[in-house]
Amino acid sequence: MAGLIIESVMPGSIAEEMEIEPGDRLISVNGNLLRDVIDYNYFTSEDLLILEVEKPDGELWELEVERDEGEPLGLTFPAPAPARCGNKCVFCFVHQLPKGLRKPLYVKDEDYRLSFLYGNYVTLANIKKGDLARIKEQRLSPLYISVHATDPEVREELLVKKGILPILEVMRELAEARIVMHTQVVLCPGLNDGAIFARTVEDLAAMYPAVASLAVVPVGLTGHRAKLPTLRPVDREFAEGFVAEWEVKAQDLAKKLGEPFLFLADEFYLKARRPFPPLESYGDLPQIENGVGMIPLFLSQAEEVLQDAEHLGQGRVTVVTGESPYRYLAAFLDRLSETTGISALPVAVRNRLFGGGVTVTGLVSGRDILEALQGVELGEEVLVPDVMIKEGEGMFLDDITVEDLERDLGKPVRVVESTPYGIYLALEEIFGR
């Protein structure tokens, strides 16, 4: 059915003055039927609007709106239901999930609209001509594209899908329409590394600045890969060799293009136990949501916090984290404790839920936290990084809530921003009264 159900109306807005209410359906704007919130944003860019609204009882209203430039209508809508992914990627993380998690976690989305709206990565393996036309017409930019390999045969092998339109053809068409693209490669040793990866980097760099960045992240393997293809993990030896080779090549490429382009995920440096490049080498951090530059940013912010931190008295808190960033967090908390007088104990949580080599903070479960904290002197509160929690629900991946954790630990649990600032602010709130 055409049109969008209105989720909320901003108080004092144009929409409220016109008696538009939550539950109404906005059918069209200036005669253009609405398919999703992207259409709404695109067609409401003009100052003079004709809105067709359907009330819950079926009554149709036609409303004329004349507004000042940039003045919002005041309507919000639910996020579009994602289009499902038709790929069977050999490294797909969803296929490796254990049973018993929240149902939405098992949904594989492949939706260019969510790429534009939220920065979700898509392969564009299921893209249709009409979708491409819409992307170009409505200038849906930037997009975030999972390339994995520009070699067509290798890409089909990785995505386990035949007859895919060559990704470079699609991307060149988007580039001609001035669509900016951020790209990623999930590196699978023996499949898309070596010469295949070198070709991918070369092909994508040749499309700069339309292709604005390329992140390479190591394949993530859980302990739940029964009946799935055997993949070689990125171990310390592989990571050491990869970083040694490609850190230099990334620097050379940055000099050639005029700014950083190729980014190695933090996980490579963590696995290789090599020092991170300076924060400046990450540019404006275009791939930070992809786990690129998070530790260097943390280290930079840590120095700023330590310069401004003040003595807060005496006390104790526990800070939980994943295993990967533990040594960096521990070093910061040790120095922060000296300055503030507050003993902040870091605890690395072993990921038993996913198993395998999963060590990142964002995939830690509530039950694993409970197990890790058994017998630990917790202090006044337990600080939990916000990346462990589903936004707006206060819930971990395994449906354990913050309240459940508080009950079982017998201590207040505080969700904090996953930065040095977030931790120090929590200490101020707890002990700086």
User: What's the pLDDT tens digit per position in 3-38?
Assistant: 999 999 999 999 999 999 999 999 999 999 999 999
Q: pLDDT at residue 166 above 70?
A: yes
Mean pLDDT, residues 263-278 taken together: 96
Is 236 found in the same domain as 109? yes
- The verdict on residue 182 lying in a domain is yes
Q: Are residues 164 and 137 in the same domain?
A: yes
Q: What is the pLDDT of residue 99?
A: 83
pLDDT exceeds cutoff 80 at 302? yes
149-165 confidence digits (pLDDT tens)? 999 999 999 999 999 99
82 found inside a domain: no
In terms of domains, do 72 and 193 share one? Answer: no
Residue 48 CA to residue 235 CA, distance in Å, equals 59
Is the pLDDT confidence value at 220 over 70? yes
Is 99 domain-assigned?
A: yes
Residues 213, 111 share a domain: yes
**Token pair for residue 170?**
């699609």
For residue 226, is pLDDT > 90? no
Read off the CATH number of the domain in which 399 is found: 3.40.50
Cα–Cα distance measured from residue 116 to residue 141, given in angstroms and rounded to the nearest whole number = 6
Ranges assigned E (strand) in 23-151: 25-29, 32-33, 48-54, 60-66, 75-76, 143-146
More confident call, 99 vs 128: 128
Q: Are residues 108 and 229 in the same domain?
A: yes
Residues 256-274, mean pLDDT to the nearest whole number: 96
Residue 265 in domain: yes
Same domain, 157 and 197: yes
Model confidence band, residue 417 (pLDDT cutoffs 50, 70, 90) = very high
Q: What is the mean pLDDT of residues 92-110?
A: 86
The pTM score is 0.92
Token readout for 302 is 């840590």
Instruction: Specify whether 276 is located in the same domain as 213.
Output: yes
Do 101 and 166 lie in one domain? The reply is: yes
pLDDT at 312: 94
Structural domains of the chain, count: 3
Is 110 in the same domain as 61? no
Domain assignment present for residue 81? The answer is: no
- Per-residue confidence (pLDDT) for residue 433, from 0 to 100: 59
Give the CA angle between residues 225, 193, 364 to the nearest 5°.
Answer: 40
Residue 317 inside a domain? The answer is: yes
Residue 22's CATH number? 2.30.42.10
Split at pLDDT 50, 70, 90, the class of 385 is very high
Q: Does 391 have pLDDT greater than 80? A: no
CA dihedral (303, 304, 305, 308) in degrees, to 10, reads 120
Q: Which range marks the domain in which residue 331 is found?
A: 297-431
Q: What is 397-419 written as a DSSP string? A: TTS-BHHHHHHHHTS-EEEE-SS
Q: Is residue 416 part of a domain?
A: yes
Mean predicted lDDT score pLDDT of the chain: 94
DSSP for 135-182, please give it: HHHTT---EEEE-S-SSHHHHHHHHT-SSPPPHHHHHHHHHHTT--EE
